[in-house]
Structure 1
Amino acid sequence: MTLFRAPRSLAVLLLVAAALATAQPARAQVRIVDDRGQAVTLPAPARRIVSLTPSLSEAVCAIGACDRLVGVDRYASWPASVLALPKVGSVDHPQVEGIVALKPDLVLLKPRSKVADQLESLGIPVLALDAKTHADVRRVMQTLAVAVGRPGAGDAPWQRIEKNLAVAAARVPPAWSGARVYFEVHGASAAGEASFIGETLARLGLKNIVPAASGPFARVNPEFVVRADPDLLMASAHSELIAMTGRPGWSRMKAIRGSQTCAFAPDRLDVMMRPGPRLDEAADEVVACLARLSTRLP
């Protein structure tokens, strides 16, 4: 029996084609399960990203993919390069037409965002991510690294954060080691032990009077704070510290009597309140305040 043999020239062409296919593989799909529990499949690593959350924009830049951002929400402020990008509203009030006009291949937002379904119905992939703890910040950066086709790119920035947190902890004045602290956010909502802010305070050796069982950010009874009588009061703004002094019984607390309080300048508030790659900078802000207060201790 005679077997069919391809002409030599055809056989060579087939071998060349196979070699080229091996040398230049098609861009692999990217599959990620987001914080909605939904599998998000991208035909290729994301190259045109719109972010509707400042902390996610910061995370994209932290992993070295700032050039992939083509649009951000109106609160995005870091790094400086994002200020020049088109603004497309906010996570609560997104400008859908503006997002579509940017032709993104991925939109980043938080879970439960009302615009997610609308964008997906238009054929725009959506990745919903949310960071509530330090571990979440690390996970989000690692997830975004996969989304942009750079697996592992989130490791270096996280190692930097960890190193800088340890350095900040070593700089806490001894007099404040183990001090009991109450950190208020936007009026009577406290950053408890379970919050990313609470974790930063713990890394600095401070004791949060609001237990993890109360949740990350809890509405706290003012009488609870008076009874706890913390050594240190922190607030996200000076105006909030002033308001504290007028609450019934609060003027008796040792932190207020001794002016052992910290508030953060408006231009640094984003650092304190965003669960992103600047956690170490937030720690530095706390340590700087403790250092200032130490000069007033007897």
Structure 2
Amino acid sequence: MRSRLLTSLLLACALVPAQAAVSVVDDAGRTVTLARPAQRVIAMAPHVTELLFAAGGGPKVVGAMNYSDYPEAAKKLPLVGSNTQIDVESLLALNPDLVVVWHSGNTARQIAQLESLGIPIFRSEPTRLEQVATSLERLGSLLGAEAAANKAAADYRARIAALGARYGKRSPVTVFYQVWDSPLYTLNDAQIASDIIRLCGGRNVFGELKTVAPQVGVEAVVARDPEVILAGKRYDPANPGLKLWQAYGGMTAVKRNNLFTVDGDLLSRPGPRTAEGAARLCEQLETARSRR
């Protein structure tokens, strides 16, 4: 009897699948390998926090960067610094088995320091709409949450595809995206916001510039005469926002009242909510077309 019982137990143990190692390639082209799915994850940028929660990893996120304010549960996470300065001591105290960083936004020296301590690092830098979906899938693999992550990716892809089918072939609209007022900054085509503009049938008038976030002059914007000017919400009353352009009544965007406020988080934080921001922007560009 004992022999049969022991044999049964050994067979049962053999049939239980071991947690296999998981490997993915991050946005910097580096392979990230974990011996088992991550259980304690730190998000080093607001968009990373959103991606991790959307990929089914919310309960496993134990720390975050400042401005990680979505979803609501993220506001309760311990903070481990800012994009310019990581509080390494606080981060290590959380005992992470995976840190997801913003590749171009976090401090390279401190990221290297974390790697030297043996902490697995996934570098996140989605610059195209499709990369939001692949980010969800890859993070889902690292979290052992493939089902939730794959569903989120599929839902997102469906929303983006529907917008592309509806607006992508409409008559082109030239767009200036005013990221900051003073000095005046915009984005080039290497940013996801420009990919959204393209999805909606628009064209970024400064998209060809080599600098990711170039500073431009008012005269340069006037010379390019965009049909639409986009700007984020004014958080500081001293910033002129879209009022900056009221003095330039000869511009097409001003004459046609195509001065639109956008939610910068929805356009610049790559995550599932990007589809919501894209839908709003497509509607604004369609409004501009109706005013011709």
| TM-score interval (norm. to shorter) | 0.7 to 0.9
**How large is the RMSD of aligned CA atoms in angstroms?**
3.1
CA drift at 1:256: 1.9
Indicate conservation of the 8 Å contact 1:91/1:109, yes or no: no
CA distance in 2, matches of 1:106, 1:253: 50
Normalization by structure 1: what TM-score?
0.80
2:244 match: 243
Structure 2: runs of 5 or more not aligned: 235-239
Indicate conservation of the 8 Å contact 1:92/1:113, yes or no: no
Instruction: Look at both structures and tell me which one has the larger radius of gyration over its CA atoms.
Output: 1
CA drift at 1:44: 0.9
1:3 match: none
CA drift at 1:17: 5.8
Aligned identity (percent) is 27
Whether 2:269 is the aligned partner of 1:274: answer yes
CA distance in 2, matches of 1:36, 1:254: 40
1:4 match: none
Matched residue SS, 1:94: coil
Whether 2:28 is the aligned partner of 1:33: answer no
The 1:207/1:155 distance shift into structure 2, 3 A limit, reads same
CA drift at 1:100: 1.4
2:237 match: none
Indicate conservation of the 8 Å contact 1:194/1:212, yes or no: no
1:101 match: 93
CA distance in 2, matches of 1:253, 1:207: 17
Indicate conservation of the 8 Å contact 1:178/1:205, yes or no: yes
Choose from 163, 166, 179 the match for 2:173: 179
Aligned length: 281
Matched residue SS, 1:207: strand
The 1:155/1:213 distance shift into structure 2, 3 A limit, reads farther
Matching of residues 1-298 of structure 1 within 5 Å: 13=6, 15-16=7-8, 18-111=10-103, 113-151=108-146, 153-168=148-163, 177-187=171-181, 188-212=184-208, 214=210, 216-238=212-234, 239-245=240-246, 250-264=248-262, 268-287=263-282, 289-290=284-285, 297=291
CA drift at 1:197: 1.0
Matched residue SS, 2:151: helix
The 1:156/1:119 distance shift into structure 2, 3 A limit, reads same
Indicate conservation of the 8 Å contact 2:178/2:186, yes or no: yes
Structure 1: runs of 5 or more not aligned: 1-7
The 1:90/1:251 distance shift into structure 2, 3 A limit, reads same
Indicate conservation of the 8 Å contact 1:137/1:276, yes or no: yes
The 1:37/1:206 distance shift into structure 2, 3 A limit, reads closer
CA drift at 1:137: 1.7
